[in-house]
Amino acid sequence: MMQQLPALLVLIPLILAPLCFLFRNARLAWFLSVLGGLASLVVAILLFEQIQQVQEIRYNIGGWEMPLGIEYRIDSFSAFILLVITGTFFLVSAASMRSMEREIVEDRLYIFYAAWLLNYCGLLGILITGDLFNLFVFIEISSLSSYAMIALGRNRKALMAAFRYLIQGTIGATFILIGVGLMYAMTGTLNMQDLASRLPEVAGSRTIYAAFAFFTVGVALKLALFPLHQWLPDAYAYAPSTVSAFLAASTTKVFAYVMFRGIYSIYGMTFISQYQHLELILITIAMIAAFAGSAVSIFQTNIKRLLAWSSVAQIGYIAVGASFFTSGGLAAGILHMFNHALIKCTLFLAVAGVIYRTGSVWIDDMRGLGKSMPWTMSAFTLSGLSLIGVPLTAGFISKWYLISAALDAGYWPVAVLILITSLMAVVYLGRVFETIWLQEPDQAVKSPLRETEAPMSLLIPLWLLVIANLYFGIDASLTGSTVEHTANQLIMNSP
């Protein structure tokens, strides 16, 4: 049984998704998602415990050995990201029912949950696969289902947002495929480990450089790294709220994982070090992302767009950590993947509660909500403080790692810029906090719905996430030591 765990991760959602379709019952479909989420969370925890003892866990699909068959390979990096993806999926699924019922047409709910599970399946597959073509397949599974989920959004603009995401996402996927194809042409293998050992022999060739460029640009598009982020704000803003919550927690993190995997495990430090400008280019791009994302957030009037633009900025933080090519920087990037997933998921979920009660995404309509929905709004405020990076929250630990990595690597302007962008976060979130807590509700929009809290089914997962946010801010020894170990392992094993 324990040997089959990696396969289970992919199989659980893959089996449950068609079941949703067969039964055509919304409640049952919801229940299956929660069950699947819980089961895969347990599997992820078991894998995480196993990985503490061994270097890596390998699994051959169908018993076919490595060069021929597809291999799943889990190391501490994938195990760590698995934890956060499965955890947030479980909690968001549990919270989703009431909110989804209100936000999309009832008779499409079961279809939604089928897409929801397929998306999850794809993301988990990306995290555990050791095969590049298989990676591409999983990317497609997760992407196609996420286009569908976004298109289900209530606002008509959701269709356009989904379409734009579809176009850009397909370009990204195509680039990835071209990159993979070129690598295959040069080395004759698709297995990541094999590839890593054979690439140095052909490293000087122009084809390999082209492959690297295609692969990283494709992944950067999926990751929404500036300036390839255009699809993200609309997609997050118009998708159903719980979808935004999960996408914000998972998609970008998983593609950051692919990016780091490609750079550190497949191409490796030796290849990177030949190309000296890369470090500076990546840092510049990442810092522009952080700066521009925060600046645009300040001027948003739609709370979901505000959070989406802030995600663009946070992706910059994740990327900048990995761009120093030091173990401290990589650790900071990975840590922020984990913490930011927690933070953004909580924020979007709290917004889902607001939309459930008020039906409005405008910040102006959040006036005085602190009085009528104190629990939801406290959750929003606490996780907002975490996004800013106030001490005793997870976000602070990320900032601490990131800035000390920047200083250790000698990039003090980066440290200063990170602090400036944190202050910008104070501005854009402070405005929302003030609206929530200090302004009086507008009499005209007073409706009986406004007077109550979000449903319990949403509040409980929401507060579990808030507690996680605080816990990982007060006692970061688990996350801290894991990311340090992971970063060291990635760099040591890097070809």
Partner 1 sequence: MNTQLAMMMTILVPIIGAVLIRLCSARPNLREAMTLLTALLLLVCVGSLLPAVLDGHQPELLLLETIPGLPLFFKLEPLGMIFALVASSLWIVNSVYSIGYMRSNNEHHQTRFYICFAVALASSMGIALAGNMFTLFVFYEVLTLSTYPLVIHKGTPEAKRAGRTYLGILMGTSIGFLLLAVLWTWSVSGTLDFQAGGILAGNIQGPAVALLLFLYMYGLGKAALMPIHRWLPAAMVAPTPVSALLHAVAVVKAGVFSVVKVVVYIFGLDLLNSVSASQWLLYMASFTVLTASVIALRQDNLKRRLAYSTISQLGYVVLACAVLAPLSIIGAGLHIVAHAFGKITLFFAAGAIYTAAHKTQVSELDGIGRAMPWTMTAFAIGSLSMIGLPPTAGFISKWYMLLGALSVDQYIAVAVMVISTLLNAGYFLPIVYRAFFKPADQSHPHGEAPLSMVVALSFTAAMTVLIFLFPQTVLSLAQQIVELN
The DSSP line for 412-446 is: HHHHHHHHHHHHHHHHHHHHHHHHHHHSPPPGGG-
The region of 175-183, 201-209, 285-293, 393-401 touching partner 1 under the rule CB under 8 A is 393-401
Residue 480 in the binding site for partner 1 (CB under 8 A): yes
Residues 67, 75: Cα–Cα separation, whole Å: 19
Maximum CA pair distance of the chain? 71
Specify the DSSP element, H or E, that contains 395.
helix 394-408
Cα–Cα–Cα angle for 358, 364, 367, rounded to 5 degrees: 70
What secondary structure, in 3-state letters, does 328-371 show?
HHHHHHHHHHHHHHHHHHHHHHHHHHHHHHHCCCEHHHHCCHHH
Q: Which residue type occupies 7? A: A
Q: Does 457 participate in binding partner 1 (rule CB under 8 A)? A: no
Per-residue exposure over 40-53, b if at least 16 CB sit within 10 Å of its own CB, e if not: bbebbeebbeebee
Q: Helix or strand or coil: residue 185?
A: helix
Contact (CB, 8 A) for 319 and 313: no
The window from 13-21, 213-221, 392-400, 487-495 that contacts partner 1 (CB under 8 A) reads 392-400
CA distance 274 to 469: 39
Is residue 475 close enough to count as binding partner 1 by CB under 8 A?
yes
Cβ–Cβ under 8 Å, residues 66 and 60: yes
Among 476, 486, 489, 495, binds partner 1 (CB under 8 A): 476
* Least distance between partner 1 and beta carbon 374 (Å): 12
Which residue from 112, 344, 162 is spatially nearest to 247, judged by alpha carbons?
344
Q: Does 404 bind partner 1 (CB under 8 A)?
A: yes
Q: How far is the CB of 260 from partner 1 (least distance, A)?
A: 21
**By CB under 8 A, residue 467 contacts partner 1:** no
Site for partner 1 (CB under 8 A): which residue of 32, 403, 466, 487?
Answer: 403
Site mask for partner 1 (CB under 8 A), range 406-445, x = bound: -xx------xx--xx-xx--x---x---x---x-------
234 binds partner 1 (CB under 8 A): no
Taking the least distance from each CB to partner 1, the nearer of 199 and 335 is 335
Please report how close the Cβ of residue 332 comes to partner 1 at its closest, in angstroms.
11
Q: Which is nearer to partner 1, 65 or 440 (CB)?
A: 440
Q: Shortest distance, CB of residue 286 to partner 1, whole angstroms?
A: 19
Site for partner 1 (CB under 8 A): which residue of 3, 53, 443, 477?
Answer: 477
Number of residues engaging partner 1 in binding (CB under 8 A): 32
Count Cβ atoms within 10 A of the Cβ of residue 170 and give its class: 0-12 exposed, 13-18 middle, 19 or more buried.
middle
Q: How far is the CB of 68 from partner 1 (least distance, A)?
A: 43
Using the rule CB under 8 A, give the single segment among 12-20, 153-161, 310-318, 396-404 that binds partner 1.
396-404
Shortest Å, Cβ 476 to partner 1: 5
Q: Does 52 bind partner 1 (CB under 8 A)?
A: no
What Rg do the C-alpha atoms of the chain give, in angstroms? 21
Q: Which is nearer to partner 1, 251 or 489 (CB)?
A: 489
d(CA 443, CA 445) in angstroms, rounded, equals 6
Verify binding: residue 474, partner 1, rule CB under 8 A: yes
Least CB distance from residue 72 to partner 1, whole Å? 31
Name residues whose C-beta falls within 8 Å of residue 171's C-beta, 6 or more positions apart in sequence: 218, 221
Among 396, 431, 403, which Cα is nearest to 417's?
Answer: 403
Q: How far is the CB of 221 from partner 1 (least distance, A)?
A: 32
To partner 1, the closest distance from the beta carbon of 438 in angstroms equals 6
- 267: DSSP letter: I
Q: Taking CB under 8 A as the criterion, which residues in 63-102 touch partner 1?
A: none
DSSP for residue 453: P
Q: Which tokens hold the place of 337?
A: 């993947």
Interface with partner 1 in residues 356-385 (CB under 8 A): 385
Quote the least distance from Cβ 405 to partner 1, whole Å.
9
Interacting residue with partner 1 among 15, 38, 159, 390 (CB under 8 A): 390
Q: Which is nearer to partner 1, 365 or 484 (CB)?
A: 484
Of 160 and 416, the one with the shorter C-beta distance to partner 1 is 416
Question: Residue 358 CB, nearest distance to partner 1 (Å)?
Answer: 23
Q: The tokens of 31 are what?
A: 């229940």
The β-bridge relationship of strands 71-74 and 57-60 is: antiparallel
- Which chain residues interact with partner 1 by CB under 8 A? 385, 388-392, 397, 399-401, 403-404, 407-408, 415-416, 419-420, 422-423, 426, 430, 434, 438, 473-477, 480-481, 484
